[in-house]
Amino acid sequence: RRKWNKVVGVLRELEEACETSVERLRLVVGAMDVEMHAGLASEGGSKLKMLLTYVHNLPNGTERETYYALDLGGTNFRVLRVHLHGQQSSVLEHEVERRPIPQHLMTGKSKDLFDFIASSLKEFVEKGGDGSQLSPNRKKELGFTFPFPVKQMSVSSGTLIKWTKGFSVVDMVGMDVPACLQEALTQKGLDMKVAALVNDTVGTLALGHYHDSDTVAAVVIGTGTNACYLERVDAIVKSQGLLTTSGCMVVNMEWGNFWSSHLPRTSYDIDLDLESPNPNDQGFEKMISGMYLGDIVRRVILRMLLESDLFGPISSKLSRPFMLRTPMMAAMHEDGSPDLKEVARILEDILEIPDVPLKVRKVVVKVCDVVTRRAARLAAAGIVGILKKIGRDGGVITGGRRSDMEMKRTVVAIEGVLYSSYTLFREYLHEALNEILGEDIAKHVILKVTEDGSGIGAALLAASHSSYN
Ligand code: ADP
């Protein structure tokens, strides 16, 4: 009985520390807005880097020809070929090939990583459909999706600021990313030009905008999390004199590094951060994204076990960081069987804790729920923060509160497994959007899932920034 009380005590404490009332979420929204302003005002003005992308024209469907893209995801690597015919089509003709990134390349030397990427691309190019649809005398062009913070000098050049999501190819930091790729391509004898270096969120925005011109922002919630949006150039105070024909530029927020004292932080978050390879970094991401959610849950279960012996002896697996991956955590969370069979199986198979009683299994499900709900609601607050910054949150403007009639249709492109495949995460996110915005405003805000946007969008951006335009 006392042991059981301990378990319940750990749960209650967790619930309290993860509290995300709508009042608290509104404070997070406000903090996001303030940090966005600060990041735009000066270099280093905020934990939000608010990086310039030099993308000022988003694809609109008039693009033609065949373009390639390389999409270095957090866990997967994709090679794509996209055929564009000059008119918008609801289905974009493309081929895609996926392969996992060998673990040793994620923490090795840049040359090995780029050799691997270039070889994969070469194989893909040579295997099929080769530029037959390309005009003669035209070099093949490529968009390179690189989902890490980059300081761009132009749409096709930029240096790596830092790695995130478990990557650590140390000699790459500070290097010009497209130049490294270009060199590897040339060495492999591949006559191709890197026309655009694209953050994955920017690719997602590009594809979203191609299909729906009301798309103003994009969010990715996968291994990591980040967002970008279309900003007025005159609001980018830190680079005065920036001129674009459209008067706008896509800004890559790098919101994974957002921080605010209003974020509900637990001792588990603090420990996870301290033991991570990048302590004090990517705080928002560590509460939201697929790389971390499972590990937060594992830490809570470990605490419950240490405080009671209801789970039996401590298994070494449970003490090992990242033993519980987010897909397994989601599977426990979404276990619909009355006796929580799947929860029992995962606890036994993955964490080596056998014979967990049903009532404790129920607590484990509740832990998953608390951690995921917090993540989804914080992501929603982040999205509203962007809407607030660009005046699409229905907030107060001069002359009073906007009526719902005046609220423009606002589309946010969204990608990443957490949103697209984790139903409860998605539901919690929508619920929070409704709560924060109110239903009258929220009904004008549409989250649209794009598929392979990070890659296809990069090919589209290579097209809209082609040197043959
Ligand atoms: P990327 O690696 O490009 O960010 P994804 O959007 O596929 O791509 O995200 C992968 C991340 O999502 C991994 O961290 C993985 O642990 C997590 N994940 C994969 N499947 C699921 C799922 N069904 N539910 C929750 N998380 C998942």
**Residue 397 DSSP one-character state:** E
CA of 327 relative to ligand 1 center, distance in Å: 7
**Which of 75, 145, 201, 342 gets mutated to test ligand 1 (max ligand atoms within 8 A of its CB)?**
75
Interatomic CA distance for residues 157 and 154, integer angstroms: 5
* Residue 251: both structure tokens together: 């800004």
Give the number of other Cβ atoms within 10 Å of residue 25's Cβ: 23
As a whole number of angstroms, the longest Cα–Cα distance in the chain is: 79
Between CA 352 and CA 346 the distance in angstroms is 8
Residue closest via CA to ligand 1's atom 17 equals 290
Does 277 have pLDDT greater than 60? Answer: yes
Residue 400: partners with Cβ closer than 8 Å, 6 or more residues away: none
| Nearest residue to 80 via CA among 63, 93, 61 | 93
Phi, psi of 3 (to 5 degrees): -65, -45
Distance (Å, whole) CA 31 – CA 271: 24
Q: What end-to-end distance do the CA atoms of the chain give, in Å?
A: 74
pLDDT band at 160 (very low <50, low <70, confident <90, very high): very high
Centroid of ligand 1 to alpha carbon of 419 (angstroms)? 9
pLDDT at 133: 56
Residue whose pair of structure tokens reads 């009258």 in the numeric block? 440
Nearest to 153 by CA among 52, 254, 242: 52
Check residue 134 and give its pLDDT: 60
Which pLDDT score, from 0 to 100, does residue 405 have? 56
Atom of ligand 1 nearest to the CA of 73: 3
Read off the pLDDT band of 467 (50, 70, 90): confident
Atom 9 of ligand 1: nearest residue by CA position = 222
Q: Look at residue 193 and give its three-state secondary structure.
A: strand
Is residue 68 very low, low, confident or very high in pLDDT (cuts 50, 70, 90)? very high
Ligand 1 centre to CA of 158 (Å) is 27
Mutation choice for ligand 1 from 298, 417, 428, 452, CB with most ligand atoms inside 8 A = 417
Atom 7 of ligand 1: nearest residue by CA position: 417
* pLDDT digits 0-9 by tens, 341-395: 999 999 999 999 998 999 999 999 999 999 999 999 999 999 999 999 999 998 7
pLDDT of residue 214: 96
pTM here is 0.95
List, for residues 25-47, the tens digit of each pLDDT value.
999 999 999 999 999 999 999 99
Written as one letter, the residue type at 276 is S
Q: Which atom of ligand 1 is nearest to the CA of 415?
A: 6
Q: What is the pLDDT of residue 398?
A: 46
Where b means 16+ CB within 10 Å and e means fewer, 379-417 reads: bbbbbbbbbbbbebbbeeeeeeebeeeebeebbbbbbbb
The minimum-distance atom of ligand 1 relative to the CA of 422 is 24
**DSSP result, 14-40:** HHHHT---HHHHHHHHHHHHHHHHHHH
Helices 22-41 and 423-437: crossing angle in degrees, nearest 10, is 80
Residue partners of 431: CB distance under 8 A and separation at least 6: 377
Which tokens go with 285?
């991401």
Pocket of ligand 1 (CB under 6 A): 73-76, 222-223, 290-291, 325-327, 330, 416-418, 421-422
pLDDT band at 61 (very low <50, low <70, confident <90, very high): confident
∠ at Cα 294 (289, 298), nearest 5°?
A: 145
Q: What is the SS3 assignment for 60? A: coil
CA of 161 to the centre of ligand 1 (A): 24
Contact 344, 356 (CB under 8 A): yes
Q: Ligand 1: which of 418, 421, 452 to mutate, judged by most atoms within 8 Å of the beta carbon?
A: 418
Q: Report, as an integer, the average pLDDT of 410-420.
A: 97
Q: Give residue 244's pLDDT.
A: 79
Please enumerate in sequence order all residues whose Cβ is within 8 A of that of 258, keeping only pairs 6 or more positions apart, or say none: 31, 32, 35, 47, 48, 283, 284, 382
Q: Is the dihedral of CA 327, 333, 336, 341 positive or negative?
A: positive
The 10s digit of each residue's pLDDT in 282-340 is 999 999 999 999 999 999 999 999 998 776 677 789 999 999 999 999 999 999 999 99
Q: Supply the pLDDT for residue 406.
A: 76
- Give the ipTM: 0.96
